[in-house]
Amino acid sequence: ETAGRVSLSPLCPLSVLLSHRVTRVPSELLSQSVLLSHRATCHPRAEELQGQRWVPFSREEISAFQSQPMAEMWQRCARRVTEAIERVVEFAKRLRGFLQLSQHDQIVLLKAGAMEVVLVRMCRAFDAATRSVLFEGKLAGPELFRSLGCPELVASIFDFAQSLSALRCSESELAMLSALVLLNAGRPCLQDRPRVARLQGHLDVAFRLLLRRTRREGLLARLPAPGRLRALCSQHLEQVQAFRRLHPGGLPAAFPPLYRELFAPDPADGPAGTR
């Protein structure tokens, strides 16, 4: 019987069982549940990544991508990042305490953090040896994205993936990192900051204990600064504005509504989640 866990011996009458306060969730249970949520909402799954022989695109395939019209390539990437963000929303909903926050705060945390989690997750599909990422089934280097017309943003995304994959994080470490990116009490416009700070605190303790158990305390000092993720996301927003200036009449309808809501909100709508 571990401290705090209800003893399930047959001699224990229901009244005692029921009178016992809720079992406090020891931190390793918390990191295990975050890992399960991460595994259930990542794509491809870890076992698929191991099994998969990562094939690079051929020269012909690369030049076919490079001769795509800008709008077409933007729409492809916007669709893929939106699918990834939808999985991050599912991940967030499975985080202990997230759904108990007000819907306003859930939206504030997701608007600020979902893209950052996608960029953290990208390192799972990144091959540091060839500096390429799994894109539509094969390995793509930054040159494949040339027709997007935002080479600096693409370069920064690859640099970030390169630096994070150099840390060789485990799935558990990526899961805890992603949870901490989302449950960040420092995000602006939160209504119940102390409540988010409590959830963040539990995750922080669980992450540190995980690192101690696996003798990976050194990881904390080597993680990319949070400012790098923030800078990447604002670089992306700048590029969306530039793209919209090039294509007057707002983002074409072919862009996913969630993408438009997150990255090109219509000013008439007012801030999402408060409508």
Ligand X SMILES: O=C(O)[C@H]1CC[C@H](C(=O)N2CC[C@@]3(S(=O)(=O)c4ccc(F)cc4)c4ccc(OCc5c(F)cccc5Cl)cc4CC[C@@H]23)CC1
Considering only residues 156 to 175 of the shown chain, the ones binding ligand X according to CB under 6 A are: 157-158
Q: Is 251 in the site for ligand X (CB under 6 A)?
A: no
Of 4, 23, 2, 26, which Cα lies nearest the Cα of 213?
Answer: 26
CB neighbour list of residue 167: distance below 8 Å, 6 or more residues apart: 219, 222, 223
Establish if 91 lies at the interface with ligand X (CB under 6 A): no
Residues 179-208 that bind ligand X (CB under 6 A): none
206, 27 Cβ separation under 8 angstroms: yes
DSSP 122-169: GGGGEETTTTEEEETTEEE-GGGGGGGS-HHHHHHHHHHHHHHHTT--
Decide if residue 84 touches ligand X (CB under 6 A).
yes
**Residue 230 Cβ, how far from ligand X at the closest point, in Å?**
14
Residue 235 near residue 156 (C-beta atoms within 8 A): yes
Q: Which amino acid is at 254?
A: A
Is 108 an interacting residue with respect to ligand X (CB under 6 A)? no
Q: Does 77 bind ligand X (CB under 6 A)?
A: yes
Q: Does 146 bind ligand X (CB under 6 A)?
A: no
Contact 135, 122 (CB under 8 A): no
Give dist(CA 226, CA 215) in Å, integer: 23
Measured distance CA(5)–CA(14) in Å, rounded: 15
Q: Which residues are 132's β-sheet partners?
A: 127
| Between 43 and 93, CB nearer to ligand X | 43
According to CB under 6 A, which one of 34, 35, 92, 118 is a site residue for ligand X?
118
Output the CA–CA distances (angstroms, integers) from residue 133 to 22, 55, 59, 147, 165, in the order listed.
Answer: 44, 11, 16, 17, 11
154 touches ligand X by CB under 6 A: yes
Of 27 and 124, the one with the shorter C-beta distance to ligand X is 124
Residue 262 and residue 114: Cα distance in Å, rounded?
9
Considering the rule CB under 6 A, would residue 148 count as an interface residue with ligand X?
Answer: yes
Which of 57, 65, 91, 145 lies at the binding interface for ligand X (CB under 6 A)? 145
Could you say whether residue 111 binds ligand X (CB under 6 A)? no
Stretch that binds ligand X, among 16-24, 51-59, 117-125, 207-215 (CB under 6 A): 117-125
80 is a site residue for ligand X (CB under 6 A): yes
Sheet holding 126-127, edge to edge: 126-127, 132-135, 138-140
Binding ligand X by CB under 6 A: which of 135, 208, 209, 261?
135
User: Which CB, 105 or 256, lies closer to ligand X?
Assistant: 256
| Region binding ligand X by CB under 6 A among candidate stretches 150-158, 167-175, 201-209, 218-226 | 150-158
If binding means CB under 6 A, how many residues of this protein chain bind ligand X?
23
Residues that bind ligand X (CB under 6 A): 42-43, 74, 77-78, 80-81, 84, 87, 118, 121-122, 125, 133, 135, 145, 148, 150, 153-154, 157-158, 236
